[in-house]
Amino acid sequence: MNEVMEAFKHGAGFSPNDLAKLIATIGVIMVTAWMLWVQWSVFRGFKSGKTDKAKFLKVSQRTLLIWLIINFILVSGIY
């Protein structure tokens, strides 16, 4: 460990790697909660007849793509 890492660990009480893992974990949880909220909302709209199957599938694909990209960005730097 270099001096900056040791100074951060001494001052904060935990390592920068632990902080990065915590921030990434919180980000993944928030993005997953957002994805579930969007999917639940579009599902309710589909079941009530306010949206059609094409819109339901398009929103599902976009949501999944955004979820995968953001999770890749959050997790790729720490593991």
15-64 pLDDT, tens digit per residue, is 888 888 999 999 999 999 999 999 999 999 999 999 999 999 999 999 99
* Domain segments of the chain as ranges: 15-76
Model's pTM, two decimal places?
A: 0.81
Q: Which of 5-9, 62-66, 71-75 has the lowest mean pLDDT?
A: 5-9
- Are the C-beta atoms of 43 and 56 separated by less than 8 Å? yes
Q: Please classify residue 27 by burial: count the beta carbons closer than 10 Å to its beta carbon, then call 0-12 exposed, 13-18 middle and 19+ buried.
A: middle
Whether the predicted pLDDT of 67 surpasses 90: yes
